[in-house]
Structures are given as structure tokens and as C-alpha cells.
Amino acid sequence: MTAGFEYVGLPYRILFGRGLLDEVGAEVSRLGRSRVLLLSSGDLAGPGDRVEKLLGPRCVARFDGAALHTPVGVTEEAMGHLRASDADCVVAVGGGSTTGLSKALAARTGVDQVILPTTYAGSEVTPVLGETAGGTKTTRSSPSILPETVIYDVELSRGLPVPIAVTSAVNALAHAVEALYSAQANPIVDGWALDAISGLGNGLSRLTGEPDDLEVRSDLLRGAWLAGMCLASVGMGLHHKLCHVLGGSFGLPHASTHTVVLPHVMSYNAPAVPEVMARIARALGAPDAPSGVFGLIERVDGPTSLRALGLGLGDLGAVADQVTASPYPNPQPLAREGILELLTGAWHGVRP
């Protein structure tokens, strides 16, 4: 019998397919908007230029300064462009950083948003905004932060370089994995999570050999969307807490940190949720979930050690302290010694 559960749907329009970049002008018009502030970042000048051209005179301003972890100073600069141009819509082309900036503008002004994700971070479908100021990260959540439209263009996603695609896809995998053992897990989200895991696993295993294959990119992008929906719908556990601390307090890179940490957290949690790990293993077509994920990352040359990401061995104790001081709900109780052991394995890059 299915256990009782709560599920709250989120309101946005999703377009998924090939060649959808061409629809961006129509989506702005559909919202009844005509003055666009285009957001992008330095690495995405090419796609940004294409969108600017497609928008034509509707593009009244452009800001290419989005940065990781949504610094408030950058948002204030973008606010200046929004006000000066009298824009009534934001179109954002980029990864989680550009999406974060768009959401920060919407949180302050209610401006409509059309988002074209180029990574697999999933932020575009969550009502959560994390911002940094003076080294401190604050988070808020509201449906008003959500974009009106998300356009997932498989062809656009093909431009994401393989090394970034690898870590970004494992970042997405982590949302789906933690959704399955979340305190709020429910059958709707479980279905998305398992579908995301098999799509991401399949896409990752073929990515390095066939980086331009649209089927591979489609599997990854669809998996990323579903994983983002998981992140938006249920609470995350130890993995997200650890990555939050490692990124927020120790400055480690977002997606690479997720990639190194995930198999170790899965191994830590496995004794508490063996049936979840069995479902993940089946979705991946691997005999064992934690070592299956680790092996997948190794095969695609993803990062496997915290040492290589620049964390000092002497920092592990402080990370464990922060994680246990304000823990997220997690199936396996958070014992400092156990977390330290997990971190030591992840620091050395040993197979869990």
C-alpha cells in the first residue's frame, strides 16, 4: 500500500526539444512583454549573441556579468540595467549562476523571466534563491521567484564542454538520489528521480565518446530537468548539506564538489536505506549504487578527490563540525566520526 504523502505542484511552462532557441521571442510576446533585459555570462557570449539577434528590438539591455553564488553586488549592478532600460522581462541564457541572477531580479521586482538553461544545475525549476554578501550565504524560497517559462533546447545544451557537462550531470544526479530517501519522498517525485537517474547515467556513460550526439544530450538535459523538479519538491539530505558547507565556507567549486562527494554520501547512507540504493543501482544498470556512481565518474574522467579541488586535509574537522552543528534530515544519523571518515575517503579519492 502506498504511504500517505503531500505533493505541491509548481506553476511554470516548460518547453523541451530541439531548436527551441528560435521560440524565445514568441515566449516573450506570449507573456505580453516587449522590453527584455538579456542576462548571460562571459563564457556564453555566443549563445547570448544569438538570443539577442532573435529578440531584435525587444532586447533593450544586456548584462553579461552573472557570477557563482549570486553575489548581491552583481545583482545590484544588474538592477541598475533593469531600471535604466525599463525592461519588463528578463531572458537568461546560462547555467545556475545566470539563472540565480535572474531569480534575484525577480525576487526584488516581480519581473517576468524566460530561462534557457545551458547546464544541468536545475535551479531554473526551483523556487529557491541563494545569495551571497560579505562571504555569507542566505537562502529564501517563494513561488514568485520561479520563472514563467523554461526553454530546454537540446541543441543549445550541446555547447556545454564535456568536463563541465560531466560535473554538472553528477550535480543533477545528486538531486535525484537524495529525493529518493528524503523525509518528504513521494511516488510522484520517486518516478521523476528514477527516470532522471537512468537518463543521466545513460547520458554520462556515452558523453565522452559521443559528445555531439543529440540523443545523449537529450538524455542529460531531460534528466537534469527531472532532477531539478526533485530538488524543488522535496527536502535534500547530508549530501547537499556537505556541498553547501564545502562551497559556502571553503570556496570549493559547486558542481565538482557534488561530483566528488556524492558516491561517499551514498555509501554512508546505504545501510539505512538499502532498498533505495537497490532502486538506484537498477536505474543505473550497476550491481551496487555507490560504487556504480564512483565508477561512472572515474570512467568519464570526473574529479574524484577533495584534495584535487583544493581542500586542506586539516579542514576536514571544521567541515564535519559545521555539518553536524545544523544537520539536514538524513536517513543515517549524522555522527561526527562517521562524517569525518566519509570526508577522509572523499579527500583521498578512494572508491567507496
Residues in contact with ligand NAD by CB under 6 A are 41, 43-44, 68-69, 94-98, 100, 118-119, 121-123, 126, 128-130, 159-161, 164, 168, 231, 254-255
Query: Minimum Å distance from CB 225 to ligand NAD?
Result: 12
Query: Minimum Å distance from CB 34 to ligand NAD?
Result: 27
Strand partners, 113: 90
Q: Identify whether the C-beta of residue 257 lies closer than 8 Å to the C-beta of residue 168.
A: no
* Spatial distance between the Cα atoms of 235 and 328, rounded to a whole number of angstroms: 8
> Considering beta carbons, is residue 145 or 281 the nearer one to ligand NAD?
145
Amino acid at 155: E
Cell 549562476, located at residue: 97
CA angle, 143 as apex, 24 and 225 as ends, to 5°? 55
> Considering beta carbons, is residue 247 or 352 the nearer one to ligand NAD?
247
Closest residue by Cα to residue 255 from 190, 197, 170: 170
DSSP annotation of 86: T
What is the 3 state secondary structure string of 258-297?
Answer: HHHHHHHHHHHHCCCCHHHHHHHHHHHCCCCHHHHHHHHH
The answer to whether the Cα torsion of 319, 332, 257, 253 is positive or negative is negative
Q: How many CB atoms lie within 10 A of CB 274?
A: 11
Q: Identify whether the C-beta of residue 275 lies closer than 8 Å to the C-beta of residue 285.
A: no
CA angle, 281 as apex, 277 and 287 as ends, to 5°? 115
Strand partners, 137: 132
* Spatial distance between the Cα atoms of 317 and 252, rounded to a whole number of angstroms: 16
Query: Minimum Å distance from CB 114 to ligand NAD?
Result: 17
Please report, to the nearest 10 degrees, the dihedral formed by the alpha carbons of residues 54, 57, 63, 68 taken in order: -30
DSSP-assigned letters across all residues of 93-150: EESHHHHHHHHHHHHHH--EEEEEE-SS--GGG-SEEEEEETTEEEEEE-GGGS-SEE
Query: Minimum Å distance from CB 122 to ligand NAD?
Result: 5
* Spatial distance between the Cα atoms of 291 and 282, rounded to a whole number of angstroms: 13
